[in-house]
Amino acid sequence: MKVLIFGLGGIGGLVGGALADKYDTIYFYARNNTKKAIEENGLRLDSVKLGNKVVRPAMVSDNASELGVMDVIFLSTKGDKLGSVCETLKPMIDEHTIIIPLLNGVLVSDVLRQHLTTGILADGLIRTFSHIEAPGHIVQDGGPCDMRFGMQGGENPANFQEIADMLTQAGIETTVSNTIELDSWKKLAITGSMSAILCYYDGTIGECRAYADAQEIIPAAYREVQSVAAATGVQMSDNYIETLIKNFNTSEPSTITSLYRDLKSGKAPQDTELDLMVGYVVNKGKELGVPTPVFEAGYNRFNK
């Protein structure tokens, strides 16, 4: 299979590094300093799960036509740039190309479908902690290292299992999911709720927990996601939500999300995933008649 990694950040670099170490049909789309670093030195991956390695793809390029049509594309860019990203992807897609987004947000394939008229649009998610140490240098420093992907409705093409097997053999344990809608909402319940709370109080997890009303606001945020998901037909159990609340209340006090970090670093809201992670819940709640006061207050605090 001819596989492209589009976006060599913490997630794309981890997936690309794992696959390129094992297979010789892995291609990278990268630009500027990242492209230059990989061309000169390869992609360096330091991973607590996969070990430390330097890998070279079959090709690294910022020219979609040069890379050519792909069998599989793992999309791991920031969600705020999806429209322009899809335009770049088009020369690399035909009706058989499988596109697997590994972005924050719920059912990203719905967004891709607004821009792409060909290709097989799946949804995916990965659980890990990884980041860019420098251009062309990725560090995976904690958490699990597993992936789930599948089609909405659960009707997955047969070759999905071949892709999952490739990833698993490369060290990223991967499952073809028949319940990707539930999987996506469960991940948003983690990352979206945490981001909404941090935005609501404008602080780290520890600073949020110190507020007098924290034990009202924190559970409320998680239950807002649960209620919106339920209104779409996706049921997250009370036990799952209670576990997430407990995790928030016992996490390292200095913890923040990447979205909150971006907002506090001065990035404009439209250049972050605020809409994809927090605004999505607010807007979907309004559409379905489900109140989301914590998410809405957190969203409005930064959406200026």
**What is the chain's mean pLDDT, rounded?**
95
How confident is the model over 133-165, as pLDDT tens digits?
A: 999 999 998 878 999 999 998 889 989 999 999
What pLDDT sits at residue 286?
98
Asked whether the domain spanning 182-302 has the same topology as the one spanning 3-177, the reply is no
> What is the C-alpha separation between 123 and 176, in angstroms, rounded?
10
Residues of the chain with pLDDT > 70, as a percent, come to: 100
pLDDT digits (tens, 9 = 90+) for 234-269: 999 999 999 999 999 999 999 998 899 999 999 999
For residues 22 and 91, the answer to whether their CB atoms sit within 8 Å is no
- For range 48-67, the mean pLDDT: 97
pLDDT band for position 291 (cuts 50, 70, 90): very high
3-177: what CATH class? alpha beta
The pTM of this model reads: 0.89
**The tokens 């590994």 sit on which residue?**
102
Q: What is the pLDDT of residue 144?
A: 86
Q: So what's the pLDDT on residue 80?
A: 66
Does the structure show a pLDDT above 70 at 284? yes
pLDDT at residue 231 is higher than 70: yes
pLDDT at 258: 85
CA distance 141 to 282: 32
- 284 to each of 159, 200, 245, 257, 295, how far by Cα in Å? 33, 19, 22, 22, 11
Q: Which residues are CB-neighbours of 12 under 8 A, at least 6 positions away? A: 5, 6, 74, 76, 77, 102
The pLDDT of 204-221, averaged and rounded, is 98
Q: Residue 196's beta-bridge partner residues?
A: none
Annotated domain spans of the chain:
3-177, 182-302
CATH 3.30.870.10 fits 182-302, yes or no: no
Rounded CA-CA distance 108/90 in Å is 17
